[in-house]
């Protein structure tokens, strides 16, 4: 069944439809819908709409008489001569929405995970297949694989934030990778595939308790830390990561560093003010005691003579 459609679209407040291109993609255990406006025959302008298709995450309705579908605040329209495309589109959407996959979010609003959600002790946890994302608005994948009672369990693949490093694990038990895995580094001009021993990694990182290992595996530093342990290139991992960043990510990185410097300067100035204040207090106390001491000394001299 086709998942690419030529459509027209408009917002609820607009009257004129614009030529567009709708694409439905399914990857692993989640599906997305994207709408692009057609710039010309061969190029598209992205970001008109991009959503994960889950019941409760996206509002979609259908008007069979007009061949129109409302997606959040967008109205899309199929050509009246494209009834088969309309039926294919509607069938795809309904099938995906009716799956049991659900979505959870970080407090920031970014997507935390998508997958088989189990309700247990008034909590929603992954149990089955799932995908975990980094806490980023770009929805970068952190892990794809199996879960049991909210913990990584079975087999899965861990991803670096930029997606250029993969760690494949075939044996995960209660959130802890066991025995061996494989790391695959795939940066421009530097590729490496190597078997890794998780027991050696825990020893090198001086991690011994199960809770500490689980916390480390769940952190966004897991892949990068292991990557640095096996890194052999003369150019650093940070340099490669910077090279593959998008212009927006580079700008955000510079901006965050500037904000940190500004905060450092604020903290440093506050520290200097505190030091000056304490120095002033100490000097005032010293001066006060000196005056008292000199007064007493003069008083004694006066009494003697």
Among 99, 116, 151, which residue terminates a domain?
99
Whether residue 237 is predicted with pLDDT greater than 60 in this model: the reply is yes
Q: Mark whether 156 and 289 lie in a shared domain.
A: no
Average pLDDT value for residue range 45-61: 79
Among 228, 244, 260, which residue terminates a domain?
244
Q: Mark whether 76 and 118 lie in a shared domain.
A: no
Whether residue 294 is predicted with pLDDT greater than 80 in this model: the reply is no
The residues near 290 (Cβ < 8 Å, ≥ 6 apart) are none
Q: Mark whether 88 and 145 lie in a shared domain.
A: no
The residues near 148 (Cβ < 8 Å, ≥ 6 apart) are 127, 154, 174
Number of domains in the chain: 3
- Residue 273 to residues 129, 260, 279, 283, Cα–Cα distance (Å): 55, 20, 10, 15
Quote the pLDDT of residue 251.
65
Among 244, 259, 278, which residue terminates a domain?
244
Cα–Cα distance for residue pair 171/181, rounded to 1 Å: 8
Domain around 19: 4-99
Do strands 180-187 and 176-177 pair parallel, antiparallel, or not at all (unpaired)?
Answer: unpaired
Quote the pLDDT of residue 108.
93
Whether residue 80 is predicted with pLDDT greater than 90 in this model: the reply is no
Whether residue 256 is predicted with pLDDT greater than 70 in this model: the reply is yes
CATH code assigned at 49 = 2.30.29
Average pLDDT value for residue range 69-76: 92
Quote the pLDDT of residue 304.
66
The SS3 of residue 219 is: coil
Q: Mark whether 132 and 238 lie in a shared domain.
A: yes
Q: Mark whether 168 and 133 lie in a shared domain.
A: yes
Quote the pLDDT of residue 194.
93
CA atoms within 13 A on the CB side of 20: 24
The SS3 of residue 138 is: coil
Helix (H), strand (E) at residue 239:
helix 237-243
Q: Mark whether 282 and 224 lie in a shared domain.
A: no
Average pLDDT value for residue range 90-98: 84
Q: Per mean pLDDT, which of 3-12, 39-48, 192-201, 269-278 is the most reliable?
A: 192-201
Q: Mark whether 233 and 112 lie in a shared domain.
A: yes
Cα–Cα distance for residue pair 150/251, rounded to 1 Å: 35
Whether residue 45 is predicted with pLDDT greater than 60 in this model: the reply is no
CA 298 to mean position of chain CA atoms: 74
Q: Dihedral through CA 256, CA 257, CA 258, CA 262, nearest 10?
A: 100
Buried b (16+ CB within 10 A) or exposed e, 218-232: eeeebbbebbeeeee
DSSP letter (8 states) at residue 208 = -
Q: Mark whether 107 and 93 lie in a shared domain.
A: no
Q: How confident is the model at residue 28 (pLDDT cuts 50, 70, 90)?
A: low
Q: Mark whether 269 and 240 lie in a shared domain.
A: no
Q: How confident is the model at residue 89 (pLDDT cuts 50, 70, 90)?
A: very high
104 bridge partner residues: 113
Whether residue 66 is predicted with pLDDT greater than 50 in this model: the reply is yes
Quote the pLDDT of residue 68.
93
- Residue 149 to residues 99, 126, 165, 235, 253, Cα–Cα distance (Å): 20, 6, 27, 41, 36
Q: Mark whether 182 and 262 lie in a shared domain.
A: no
Q: Mark whether 52 and 179 lie in a shared domain.
A: no
Quote the pLDDT of residue 266.
78
Greater model confidence, 288 or 1: 288
Check: CB of residue 8 under 8 Å from CB of residue 1.
Answer: no
The SS3 of residue 46 is: strand
Q: How confident is the model at residue 211 (pLDDT cuts 50, 70, 90)?
A: very high
Quote the pLDDT of residue 116.
84
Whether residue 43 is predicted with pLDDT greater than 70 in this model: the reply is no
The pTM of this model reads 0.65
CA atoms within 13 A on the CB side of 115: 25
168 bridge partner residues: 157, 182
Whether residue 15 is predicted with pLDDT greater than 70 in this model: the reply is yes
18 bridge partner residues: 9
Helix (H), strand (E) at residue 24:
strand 18-27
Cα–Cα distance for residue pair 60/37, rounded to 1 Å: 19
Whether residue 1 is predicted with pLDDT greater than 50 in this model: the reply is no
pLDDT digits (tens, 9 = 90+) for 120-164: 777 888 888 899 999 988 889 999 999 988 999 999 999 999 899
Check: CB of residue 297 under 8 Å from CB of residue 289.
Answer: no
Greater model confidence, 151 or 303: 151
Quote the pLDDT of residue 178.
94
Cα–Cα distance for residue pair 153/24, rounded to 1 Å: 29
Q: Mark whether 217 and 281 lie in a shared domain.
A: no
């Amino acid at each position: 069944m086709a998942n690419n459609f030529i459509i027209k679209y408009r917002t609820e407040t607009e009257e004129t439809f614009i030529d567009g291109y709708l694409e439905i993609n399914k990857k692993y255990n989640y599906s997305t819908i994207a709408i692009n406006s057609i710039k010309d025959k061969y190029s598209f302008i992205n970001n008109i709409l991009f959503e994960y298709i889950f019941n409760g995450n996206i509002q979609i309705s259908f008007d069979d008489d007009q061949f129109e579908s409302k997606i959040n605040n967008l109205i899309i329209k199929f050509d009246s001569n494209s009834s088969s495309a309309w039926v294919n589109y509607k069938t795809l959407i309904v099938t995906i929405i009716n799956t049991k996959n659900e979505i959870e979010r970080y407090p920031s609003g970014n997507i935390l995970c998508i997958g088989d959600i189990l309700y247990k002790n008034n909590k929603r946890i992954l149990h089955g297949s799932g995908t975990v994302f980094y806490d980023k608005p770009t929805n970068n994948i952190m892990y794809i694989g199996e879960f049991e009672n909210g913990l990584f369990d079975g087999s899965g693949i861990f991803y670096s934030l930029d997606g250029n490093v993969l760690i494949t694990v075939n044996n995960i038990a209660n959130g802890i990778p066991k025995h061996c895995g494989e790391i695959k580094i795939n940066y421009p001009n530097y590729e490496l595939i190597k078997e890794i021993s998780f027991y050696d990694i825990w020893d090198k990182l001086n991690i011994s308790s199960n809770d500490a290992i689980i916390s480390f595996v769940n952190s966004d530093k897991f892949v990068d830390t292991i990557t640095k342990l096996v890194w052999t290139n003369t150019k650093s991992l940070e340099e490669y990561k910077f090279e593959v960043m998008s212009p927006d990510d580079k700008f955000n990185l510079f901006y965050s560093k500037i904000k940190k410097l500004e905060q450092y300067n604020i903290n440093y100035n506050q520290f200097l003010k505190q030091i000056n204040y304490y120095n002033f207090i100490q000097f005032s106390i010293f001066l006060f005691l000196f005056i008292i001491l000199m007064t007493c000394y003069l008083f004694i001299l006066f009494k003697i003579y």
